[in-house]
Structure 1
Amino acid sequence: MKKIYILLSFLTALGWSYSCSDDHNPVYTAGQEVSGQIITPQTGKEYVLEIDKRYEVIETFQWSRTEYSQPLGVRYSLQADVEDGNFESPVLLASLTTQEVSFTGEQLNAAMEKLGLEPDVKSLVKLRLASNAYGGEEGNVPLTQFPTLSSEVIDIYVTPYEEERAYPENLYMIGDEFSDGNWSWDAEGVVQLIPVHGKEGEFWCINYFTAGKEFKWAPKRAWANDFNALDTNTGFVLSGGNAAVEADGVYMVYINMKSSEIYIEPAQVYGIGDCFGGWSAEPILFNIAGDKITQTTTGTGGLRMYAGSSIATSDWWTREFVIMDGKIVYRAGGDELAGVDVAAGKTVRLDFRAGTGIIN
């Protein structure tokens, strides 16, 4: 009897030990899993997001439970992708262990912005639910031996709104050659960029840059919110925490705060209108020599000029300027500039560093 008792005790202990091991390191059995499916919304549902209702709950997304071959914890990831996407790089809407999640208009709109959807345009968005098994004593250990399960993809239609953002009204550029070499915001050489007419958050300037001399930007003439780059940067390198060009020359700087982009390129200044072949002719590109920009008029009339940019999306006159009393005057956010009458055969000389223009 004693031997039987000992044997039973041993088998009981062995069984208990096996169960514990099985609980913490379960064995995957293929073919017995059932992926959770999205219940709400149904495919084809349309959402028109409104900024005035951005704090209201727009929808509660729900789904069925994912079942594996044995009782396990499950973490659900609700994913979104664009119409022609394949979920290689989806936007994660939510990651949680429950079977529903609510979104306000603001939250859903932010996700649509990450997808790159155009505001005020109805777009198809694909949704799917991904499920992963979790275990451990506290249910927080990923069980990688179990596969990620994906639901069927559903289509919804979303019209996002354009986010309200406060963009700076001004931008300034400071640097080795713009602030007497001492990086003082009080220096006369600090450059104020020109607002692009009618384009909030977009600025430009033309100036002479020396290779390797560093500079950066700020919305005020002060060390606050200054920056040396944005999300997309072209035409310059970062050096010592600042920006710098790699070759001497006259450059066009175009900054779009909305798209978070800085584009620096060799300057292109054009003459247009009566002084340069008439309004039916192609604009004439000015010549650049050193830090001076020149061109000779071919006709008589109002002198009209503008700065070209590879990334500007607005009309030429949004970056227009004229010469008045020997100074370069920019349209910026103001009314149309009055063209200064100039005869044919006159040479126009521009010095953007000095802010001067000469006609002779």
Structure 2
Amino acid sequence: MFVNGDAWGWPQDWSTAPEMIPVHSHDGMFWGIYYLQAGNGMKFNNEKSWSTGDNFGAENEDPKGYGEYPAGGSNLKVADTGYYLVIVSCTLSADKKSVNRKVILAEPKLFLRGACAGGWADAGAGRPNDLEVAFALAADGATYEAVTAGDGDLRIYVATGVQGVDWWQSELVVRDDKIEYRGKGGDQEPRVPVTIGKTVSLDFRTNTGSIQ
């Protein structure tokens, strides 16, 4: 799934349109974190094209805040400037003759998890008691930061808020100063070890990060 719009210059050939990240184990669901200006519009397509694939946006161009919106033929426009977690969900209709599409706009909520956040809990369904450290948006409004609370492998995830999506299904790490997404792959090897007290920074405008 690709996203095109004001933030990327509306290229006719979709050359600068970013590819969204597939949610692990959930076919037809994709996500991305984007910095958007108030009034910015966007559309989506499974192909980098205006003439092929299935272009869609929202049902109207009224500026939208956080929420869930049915797909439509108009540009999906955001109401305020800032970061958005954008989730696209495509599911088969009950009669399996059509595809139902919706777009979710949410506040990005990012976390360190596991050893780098202070420790893993006993194994269990979803490991609900694993320790976490929340990222906060820095004063510049462009960078998310969190400080590690333990030694171990770096594990970062974005909370989608979608029922049935587990934390590890929307993971990412920082490697060589770049944000690397897990997508539908396995554990991100080789692991990225960190020590306690390191500041992890994420800038989704440039898909870069740092560990200092």
Q: Which of the residues 121, 127, 135 maps onto 1:286?
A: 135
Kept in 1: contact 2:58–2:74 (CA 8 A) = no
Tell me which residue corresponds to 1:309: 160
How far off its partner does 1:234 sit?
Answer: 2.7
Aligned residues: 184
Q: Aligned equivalents of 1:172 and 1:349: distance in 2?
A: 25
Distance in 1 between the 2:70 and 2:21 partners?
23
CA distance in 1, matches of 2:3, 2:105: 13
| Equivalent residue letter for 1:283 | E
Change (3 A) 1:288 1:184: farther
Q: Distance between the aligned counterparts of 1:186 and 1:325, measured in 2?
A: 27
Residues 18-33 of structure 1: matches in 2 within 5 Å? none
Return the letter of the residue paired with 1:320.
E
- Alignment check: 8 A CA contact 1:176 1:183 kept: no
**CA distance in 1 between partners of 2:211 and 2:69 (Å):** 33
What is residue 95 of structure 2 aligned with on the other side? none
The answer to which structure has the higher helix fraction is 1
State the identity %: 34
Q: Deviations over 1:68-120 (max 9, x none)?
A: xxxxxxxxxxxxxxxxxxxxxxxxxxxxxxxxxxxxxxxxxxxxxxxxxxxxx
- Partner letter of residue 184 of structure 1? Q
User: What secondary structure, in the 3-state scheme, does the structure 2 residue paired with 1:257 have?
Assistant: strand
Counterpart of 1:234 (choices 67, 76, 94) is: 67
CA contact (8 A) 1:269 1:308 kept: yes
Indicate conservation of the 8 Å contact 2:4/2:10, yes or no.
Answer: no
Distance 1:312 1:355 in 2: 27
| Higher Rg | 1
Partner of 1:345: 197
Deviation of 1:237 after TM superposition, in Å, equals: 10
Equivalent of 1:201 in 18, 28, 36: 28
Is residue 175 of structure 1 aligned with residue 26 of structure 2? no
Check whether the contact 1:237–1:245 (CA below 8 A) recurs between aligned residues.
no
The structural deviation recorded for 1:271 is 0.7
| Residue identity opposite 1:173 in structure 2 | V
- TM-superposed CA distance for 1:228, in Å, is 0.4
Give the C-alpha shift of residue 213 in structure 1.
1.0
Deviations 1:230-253 (A, max 9, x none): 7xx935799x92011111111111
Q: How does 1:116-127 map to 2 (within 5 A)?
A: none
Task: Indicate the residue corresponding to 1:253 in structure 2.
Answer: 86
Structure 2: how far apart are the matches of 1:354 and 1:312?
29
Contact in 1 for aligned 2:160/2:170 (Cα 8 Å)? no
Paired letter, 2:81: D
Q: Is the alpha carbon distance of 1:261 and 1:236 closer, same or farther for their aligned partners in structure 2, counting shifts above 3 Å?
A: closer
CA RMSD of aligned residues (A): 2.2
Q: Contact (CA 8 Å) 1:236, 1:244: kept in 2 or not?
A: no
Cα distance in structure 2, aligned partners of 1:346 and 1:218: 39
Shift of 1:229: 2.8
Residue aligned with 1:344, SS: coil
For the Cα contact (< 8 Å) 2:70–2:103, is it kept in 1?
no
> In structure 1, what is the equivalent of residue 186 of structure 2?
335
- Rate the CA distance shift 1:327–1:342 in 2: closer, same or farther, 3 A: same
Quickly say closer, same or farther: Cα 1:309–1:197, change in 2 above 3 A. same
Match of 1:268 among 86, 97, 109: 109
In 1, Cα distance between the equivalents of 2:137 and 2:119? Answer: 23
Residues 301-350 of structure 1, C-alpha deviation per residue, up to 9 Å, x if partnerless? 10000111122422111111111111111111111113310111111110
User: Could you tell me whether the CA contact under 8 Å between 1:236 and 1:245 is conserved in 2?
Assistant: no
Structure 2 gaps of 5+ residues are 60-65, 92-99, 122-129
Match of 1:187 in 2: 15
Aligned partners of 1:269 and 1:286 also within 8 Å: yes
- Three-state SS of the structure 2 residue aligned to 1:177 is helix
